[in-house]
Amino acid sequence: MICRSLPLFAVVACVPAEEEDAIPTTGLEAHVTVAAFDDIQAGVVMTLHESAGLESDFYELALDEEITVTIPGFVISLIASKLDSQPVYTASVPIPATDADFIVSLNRDPPDKTADDSRVSLPLAFDLTAPGAFSRGSDDMEVTWSVFDQADPLTLEINGPCIDTYQAEVSDIGAVVIPAGSVTGTGESCPAELTLTRQRFGTVDHAFGSGSVVAFQQRGLALTANP
């Protein structure tokens, strides 16, 4: 087995040592995520599960099977990886200049059925601004972002070692004010991270038994959270 690390996903890439009996495509549950944290590249992750069993019943590709992602000008193979001893398939791809679909395909030899039309497009990217420090108890904190008035849902989250996780669905109007006292925690100051995530759902190929396809743009800022 040949393995190599993939820093983007913190996994170890491995080549299967031997082929296993294939499960019919209709017996597989597919989950695809396309994630972008900047304007340059996106990470594509796919997992397969035996849909007749529990979600923990992961399916590992046989040697004659392959997963690819297609965007304008590129067809890129996903690399077989291990995450917590389970098979995961990943790739880093350039973000298309246009609002193009990421098309993820499971390619199989007959008599197994190929599933080549799981697709989603990335939501629009945006820039994020917020104060570099705030008082949880006394400051109303305004968060603003560019490119707004989109139909895709937005989630704002603040995390840090001295605060309780704050999460809220926000309207895509370009700004939101977090009232003083909304973020709770200990009586200490600490570094914190604010993230804003714009999410979009796609469609899974009908050849699969079931599954999901989702893409998101996420931007984050480092903050200091004071009492």
Tell me the two tokens of residue 44: 């594509």
Give 58's DSSP letter: B
Name all domains of the chain by residue range, CATH numbers in brackets. Answer: 3-123+200-216 (2.60.40), 128-199+220-226 (2.60.40)
Q: How confident is the model at residue 16 (pLDDT cuts 50, 70, 90)?
A: very low
* Predicted confidence (pLDDT) at residue 87 exceeds the cutoff of 80: yes
**Six-digit token string for 161:** 């070692």
Check the CA dihedral 125-194-11-117 and report its sign.
negative
Per-residue pLDDT of 180-210, as tens digits, reads 999 999 989 999 999 999 999 999 999 999 9
Supply the pTM of this predicted model: 0.86
Q: What is the pLDDT of residue 111?
A: 87
Q: For 49-85, write each residue's pLDDT tens digit.
A: 997 655 568 999 999 999 999 999 999 999 999 888 8
First to last CA, the chain: 52
Of 148, 135, 123, the closest CA to residue 216 belongs to 123
Site of tokens 């040949």: 2
Which pLDDT tens digit goes with each residue over 161-175?
Answer: 999 999 999 999 999
